[in-house]
Amino acid sequence: MKPESLVSITDFSKEEILDLLQTASRFEANPNQKILEGKVVATLFFEPSTRTRLSFETAVNRLGGRIIGFSDASTTSSSKGETLKDTIMMVSNYVDLIIMRHHLEGAARYASEIASVPVINAGDGANQHPSQTMLDLYSIYKTQGTLSNLNITMVGDLKYGRTVHSLLMAMSHFNPTFHFVAPDELKMPIEYKIFCEQHHIPYFEHSEFSEDVINQADILYMTRVQRERFTDLMEYEKVKNVYTLHNSMLEHSKDNLRVLHPLPRVNEISYDVDSNPKAYYFQQAQNGLYARQAIICKVLGIEV
């Protein structure tokens, strides 16, 4: 039987997403359960990402599993020219599950096709990072009590920000209204706007990050505006502070509004927001543990 892998959030149906949220909340209530006793999990980080790796490894440890792997490809045989295929074939022989991150796009899909065990994509270049999306969904669900009928306002780099693209696709099951706030150079790509139209999802585009937009929002999803993304550095200097959230801008926002950010942040959320109860980005990162525990059990076919 071909194992079930998680490469892209679109691999999961609406029902599967809702199930995963339930499982995640059970893990939040009781994160230490010895369900992976006797199992070995490989964390193959061909590209370093300490934040994601620690979150996954904590998830495995709290479930009683054991871990092998590497956190940097320069120490592995792939730096000696071994193909991804050969590495995956070898590791599949040893473990029950592979969690991998790779700088090449599509690497996880390819690995999932050749591995004899399930593969969880922990990020493949600029392509997919579905466990991030699951923790975003879980954070939205927890703070709003539902995923349905919400106003989701996305701010910053909507062109290259893969987290906003995956979140958009995943939220499409739940009748959202989107507001896209971005500078011209970093607007939401046309394919995602077409996707919204095909799914009858209303969306509104803004270049100004105004209180008017903030005051309607249930979720304010902030992203990093990175200097490297600009062809014109003058343009970057012009916009870099325009998409910064300050505490004063939240004054007339809805009570249920929560501010999310995939982290790490640079200057897009000012530090005076941190103590506002509407700031949720640190808890959001913690939710990653429960979301990842839920994903691990799901791909291994373990009922929780």
**Which residues here bind another protein, judged by CB under 8 A?**
8, 83-85, 102-107, 109-110, 124-128, 191
Q: How far is the C-alpha of 261 from the C-alpha of 155, rounded, in Å?
A: 10
How many other C-beta atoms are found inside a 10 Å radius of the C-beta of residue 271? 10
Which strands make up the sheet holding 66-70, listed edge to edge? 66-70, 40-45, 97-102, 119-124
17 SS3 class:
helix
Q: Which residue in the list 53, 62, 129, 162 is annotated as catalytic?
A: 129
Residue 83 known to be catalytic: no
Nearer to another protein, 109 or 173 (CB): 109
Q: Which residue in the list 2, 50, 75, 80 is annotated as catalytic?
A: 80
* Phi then psi dihedrals of residue 195, to 5 deg: -55, -45
Nearer to another protein, 4 or 11 (CB): 11
Nearer to another protein, 31 or 125 (CB): 125
In terms of Cβ atoms closer than 10 Å to its own Cβ (0-12, 13-18, 19+), residue 3 is: middle
Torsion of CA 139, 144, 150, 155, to 10 degrees: -50
Closest CA to 24 of 131, 176, 162: 131
Nearer to another protein, 102 or 261 (CB): 102
Residue 39 known to be catalytic: no
Nearer to another protein, 124 or 218 (CB): 124
- The DSSP-derived string for 208-241 is S--HHHHHH-SEEEE----GGG-S-HHHHHHHTT
User: 264: part of which helix (H) or strand (E)?
Assistant: none
| Residue 128 beta carbon to another protein: minimum distance, rounded to whole angstroms | 7
Residue 258 known to be catalytic: no
Residue 51 known to be catalytic: yes
User: 158: part of which helix (H) or strand (E)?
Assistant: none
| Residue 144 beta carbon to another protein: minimum distance, rounded to whole angstroms | 29
Residue 163 known to be catalytic: no
| Residue 270 beta carbon to another protein: minimum distance, rounded to whole angstroms | 34
| Residue 286 beta carbon to another protein: minimum distance, rounded to whole angstroms | 29
Q: Which residue in the list 52, 87, 143, 163 is annotated as catalytic?
A: 52
| Residue 83 beta carbon to another protein: minimum distance, rounded to whole angstroms | 6
Q: Which residue in the list 101, 165, 179, 298 is annotated as catalytic?
A: 101
Q: How far is the C-alpha of 113 from the C-alpha of 7, rounded, in Å?
A: 11
Nearer to another protein, 84 or 181 (CB): 84
Longest dimension (CA), the chain: 57
| Residue 288 beta carbon to another protein: minimum distance, rounded to whole angstroms | 23
> Which residues are annotated as catalytic?
51-52, 80, 101, 129
